[in-house]
Structure formats: C-alpha cells, structure tokens
Chain A
C-alpha cells in the first residue's frame, strides 16, 4: 500500500483538512464555552450542557420549520428559551445543592442530562430533521480551499462569543463576581457577592450558548437527530484539553480536537488502519488522556492550590 497510498494525500488535502478541522473545532469550542461558564461560576462540571445543546438545536428547528420564522430570529429565540430553561433548572435543582460536594452536584447534572435529553427526543421523535438554515450546503473557493458557508458562520460566531466572554469576565462587575464565587463561594458571599444571581446568570448563559451551539452543529448537511446530544459529549476533550476554567482554553482545545479528529479521519485508513473504523470518534479522547498525564489541569487551566 505504501507508495500509492502516500501519493493519495496531497498538499491540497492537508489544507482542506486543516480548514475543516478548525471549523469543526469552532463548533466544539461553542459547546465548550457553555461548559466553561458554569464551571467558572460554580466550580462544577455541567453534564447537562449536552442536553441544552440538543434542546437548543430542536428549538431552533421548531421555530423555523413549524412556526415559519426567519432563521436568525429563530436562533435568537431558541437562545432566549434555552436561557430560560437554564434558569429554571438552576432554580429547581442546582440552587438547593450549593455548598454540597462537587461529586454530588456532578451527579445531579447527570440526572438532569438524562431527563432533558429524553424529554427532548420524545417531543421531536427519533427522525433526522433538517434545520432549514439559509447556508445549506453552499460553498465558496478561498485560496484553493473549498469552504462551506456554514463553517464561516460558525467561526464568526465563535470569535464573537469568545470576545464577549473575555470582555464580560474582564470588565463587568458580574463577571468579576463570578470569578470570585468560583474561587471560594463562602468568602465571596461574605464579601456581599450575590451567589444566587451568579448561579442564575451562569446557567442562563449556558442555556444560551447551548442553543447557539446546537443550531450551528445541526446546520446544513449535518441535520438534527438525538445523536447531536452525544456529539456534545465528544466536546469534553476540548474543555479538558484547554483547562476547565478558561474560555480561551475552550477555543484552543476545541480547535486542537477538531484538527486531531479531521486528520485522523484523513490518515488513519491509509497509514494505520489497524486502529479500526471511525477511529476519529475516539482519537480526541486518547489525545486528552495523554495530555492530562503531562499537564493534569489542561493547557490553560488554573492549578488547584491544595490546602488542608
């Protein structure tokens, strides 16, 4: 296989794969940002984010296809409803668990994941849905690389979201309050930081980001199906790789994971086919595990100070 196989991957292929890796990575980054905001504000990894992504995608679908609204308006509306769902979940469950062990809260979010996921799929059923976005499958040529319109939009969305996150945490009072609350909830409360509002806002933003991520994930040829939710779980290596509490890390991690995935898909069948079919679905996890052994808090994560 060697000689002919080597010839099949050209420089153009590499460029093309590099671009699609970045595009996929930006989708993961959008999901990862939703994870990281809740982690940053409450110190808890939020498994339910995957179901917020799924729910948001279906809401956007429902508003465009069933209500016939404009696509961009539908996404905005889905983001609003997603934020509302986030606030309700926080008020019903998470607020009562403030101060509990992280383990307890993590497991509660897993419970919420199961409830929301299955309620969502039971409402919209198991069939694949077409989101009806205006980008569809249209592409354009940039520097000899075929670029899908929806990928450009995803990259733009991600850039805007990251900039927003940066400004929010750096300059707004609430952003500062969130950082303080995540660092030490009790000390923050003693300083008069409204812990409840911090949690509520964090979950609202998580729901909002989830809907945006869901819409971009399902755009075009990808379509919307119950499996979209498990795609969100594949974004885990991205947040871990970047470091849980770093929005910038979420993006860098997302792009790395996207590139790893696309390049595995390109090269695995030719150079190391013994790893089996669709190895690209698990290669991000392998990269994550190896990296964590070297840097246990990811690339940009804050090292935990351990005191007795």
Chain B
C-alpha cells in the first residue's frame, strides 16, 4: 500500500498541476527546493556569479573596499545570526570575538610571518575555542544575565587588547604590513594576475572576501537546515521544551557559541588584512551593536538576511559618508569644510542605526529578508497569489 502511495505521489509531483510542490520534509530542506524553483534559483546563482566576476572590473577601488567591508560584516553577521537568530542567545559580545580573530591573524601573520592559510585557520580555530570557553555561560545563565555577561566580554576584551603588549601591541595597535597574503599561486597582496591582466589589491581582496562569504553561507545553511539546526531552533523557541524532547542543551548552546565566534574571528582576520593594521579601539560596543543591527535589519533566523543586512547597513553608512557634503545633508551633518549641522557624521550614523533597529523591530521584525520572501512567495504561488 505504502509503495503504491509513494509511486502515485511521485507521479503526481512530476506531472500533476502541483508539480514541484514540496510534499515531504526532505523536499522542504533541500537547498534547491523543487523543479519549479530550479530556473529561478539557477538564474539567481548565475546572476550573482557574474556580478562577482564582473564587479571588480567595473567599480573603482574605493567602492570595492566598501563592498569588501560589507562582505566581512556579512561573514560575522552569519555567525551572530546562527547564535541569536537560530539559537536565541542574545550576544553583545560579538565584537570581542571579532577582535580575537583580528589579533590572532595579526600575531601569526604580521609578527610571525606564517603563510595566509595557516594564520586564517589559526584565527578561526582560536575563535572557535574562545567561543567554546564562553559557551558554557549560556548554560548557567539565561536571558538578561547572559546579555550583560557578553557585554562585559567586550569591556574585558578592550582591556586585554590594550594591555597584552607582546601580542597586541597595546594602545599602538599592531601592523600586518609584513603578513604574507598568498594562497598557492594567488598573491592577494600584490594583486592577482589572470591572462596577462594585473588586478589591484582591492580587486583581489573583493574576490577573496566574497568567496569566503559564499563558503561561510553554505556551511551555515547546511548547519541550520540539518538536525543541529532543528535542535538550535527548538532551543530558541523554548529551551526547556527542547530539553524535554531530548535535545542536548549543553552541546548545542556551546556549539552555537563556538561556531558563531569562529565566523566572527574569520571576519576579524579578514578585517585586519583589509586594514593592514589592528587597533584596540575598533572592537568596542559600537561594533557589537553594529552586528546586532545587521542581523535585526537583515532578518533574524535567515542566513541570506545576514548578507542583505550587511550590505544595507554598511553600504548605507558608506553612501551617507560619501555624500555627507551634499546640500540635502547640510542642516543635519557637520562636515570638515565647516558646514555646521546638527550631528557629526559618526553621531548621525549612530542615530540612524538606533532608529533603524527600533523601526524594524516595530514594523518588520523579520527584517529585509521578509520583503524578499514575500516577493518570492508571490511569484511561486502565482496565479493563486494573495
């Protein structure tokens, strides 16, 4: 009987009017979900891939640098989203893990001169381990108490970066000027060379960062759509119920912290490479809140949303910075050319961040990703869209 049902179901799925409708859970968690979605998914992949290859030849170096920063924020935000969006553990300490990654890369790359794959790997490993050490706090502490402990991490981190002179260079920071940046035959520091064409550092770095974004997003997607991801979401929705159902809280909470801080550390290491310099002032509360803003604005509990959020927040910030001299902003922003406005550019951006967090929480708690899903659903359910 079961065999017949299955055969019929398969036939129905292949040919019937509901062709491509997901009927089983396995269909629902597939990366490429159904035949009907196939052309759209592939069109999207092809469009993204061509943009990836083509953008560096089109945009100038400053624009590419902004996009590289967006990519770096996207990597960190994917990590935070796994922790906050999927496992429901709010963390204000992301800046600390980003800092740990940046200093690890600076120490092994800049001071020791180890090759790039090794020091990037070290950064990820250190991030993973530090996250694994912090993780158990999430078992003992809940909700509000955990938030404040992670906030404390940021302050403790700042103290550490300022005082552990032999590794971090103290208040002066440390340089990555001598860090090798080659991956096999590809030398990112000198700029890549393809077919006799030489590319600049910013062009090459854009390719490097966004390759990591794609890699990181795929790994994260595979974590959250599998057994581990379901366990994490059960913990987010109600940790006690999850525990009763047999989810191992210790394993998944600590695991989420470890993975999330590994992503943060990778973001930090890439950030250090892009700046070629690490200063202890950069990993403070502002960075931590920026990450929180990115995951909220992008959409909690979506990997794709983290990338959208990073593009929106950092891209928007850079756009405002570049255009701050324009007449529209005159009453608002004080510029170096002596235009007296209400805010400095830093304050203006911070106010926008804060307002954006509040507005999104009030009016679209699912973030930018929700707009995307709405459009997608409309097309997928056509002609029965509502």
On A, residues with C-beta under 8 Å from B are 39, 44-45, 93, 96-97, 100, 102-104, 106-108, 110-119, 121-122, 230, 233-234, 236-237, 239-240, 244, 275-279, 281-282, 285-286, 288-289, 292-293, 296-298, 304, 306-308
Contact B354 A114, beta carbon cutoff 8 Å: yes
Q: Could you jot down 29 A-B contacts, CB within 8 Å?
A: A45-B148, A93-B358, A97-B362, A103-B84, A107-B296, A110-B289, A110-B292, A111-B354, A112-B354, A112-B358, A114-B351, A118-B347, A121-B347, A122-B351, A230-B285, A233-B285, A236-B151, A237-B148, A237-B152, A240-B145, A244-B145, A288-B148, A288-B152, A289-B149, A292-B140, A292-B145, A293-B137, A298-B145, A308-B240
A103-B88 contact, Cβ under 8 Å, with A112-B358, A114-B351: yes
Q: How far is the CA of A117 from the CA of B289 in the complex (A)?
A: 14
Q: Contact at A107–B292, with CB atoms within 8 Å? A: yes
Closest 3 A/B residue pairs (Cβ): A276-B163, A114-B354, A111-B357
Interface residues on B, range: 35 or more
Please report the number of residue pairs spanning A and B whose Cβ atoms sit closer than 8 angstroms.
133
Interface 1/0 per residue, B126-164 and A, CB below 8 Å? 000000000001001111110111011001101100111
B201 contacts the other chain (Cβ, under 8 Å)?
no
Q: Nearest chain-A residue to B143 (Cβ)?
A: A102
CA distance A282 to B96 in the complex (A): 14
Chain A positions within 8 Å of B348 at CB level: 118
Complex formed: what's the CA distance from A51 to B163 in Å? 29
CB neighbours of B143 from chain A (8 A): 102-103
- A306 nearest in chain B by CB position: B240
**Contact status B353-A114, CB under 8 Å:** yes
Evaluate contact between B289 and A114: CB separation under 8 angstroms: yes
Q: Which B residues touch A44, using CB under 8 A?
A: 144
Query: Are the CB atoms of B155 and A308 closer together than 8 Å?
Result: no
Contacting residue for A110 out of B144, B149, B244, B357, CB 8 A: B357
Is the pair A93, B357 in contact by a Cβ cutoff of 8 Å? no
Question: In whole angstroms, what is the CA distance A37 to B149 when docked?
Answer: 20
List residues of chain B with CB within 8 A of the CB of A106: 90, 144, 147
Interfacial chain A residues near B178, Cβ < 8 Å? none
Question: Which residues from chain B sit less than 8 Å from chain A, CB to CB?
Answer: 84, 88, 90, 92, 137, 140-145, 147-149, 151-152, 155-156, 158-159, 162-164, 238, 240-241, 244, 285, 289, 292-293, 296, 342-344, 347-348, 350-351, 353-358, 361-362, 365
Which chain A residue has the least Cβ–Cβ distance from B239?
A: A306
**Chain B residue nearest in CB terms to A101:** B88
| A278 contacts across to B, CB distance below 8 A | 159
Closest residue to A285 on the B side, CB-wise?
Answer: B152
User: With a CB–CB cut-off of 8 A, which chain B residues contact A304?
Assistant: 142
Known: A45-B148, A93-B362. 10 other contacts (CB 8 A): A44-B144, A107-B90, A108-B358, A111-B356, A118-B351, A118-B354, A236-B151, A240-B149, A296-B141, A306-B240
Docked pose: A52 CA to B167 CA in angstroms: 38
* Chain B residue nearest to A301 in the complex (CB): B145
- Which residues of chain B have C-beta atoms less than 8 A from A240's C-beta? 145, 148-149
CA distance A108 to B240 in the complex (A): 25
In the assembled complex, the CB of A5 is this many whole angstroms from the nearest CB of chain B, namely: 20
Residues of B within 8 Å of A39, CB to CB, are: 144
| Pair A282/B155 contact, Cβ less than 8 Å | yes
Point out the residues of chain B lying under 8 angstroms from A104, CB to CB. 361, 365
- A108-B357, A285-B152, A306-B240 given; A45·B163 CB < 8 A: no
Please determine whether A285 and B155 come into contact, CB atoms closer than 8 angstroms.
yes
List the A residue with the shortest CB-CB distance to B152: A285
A4 to B226, CA, bound (A): 63
* Nearest chain A CB to B250 CB, angstrom units: 15
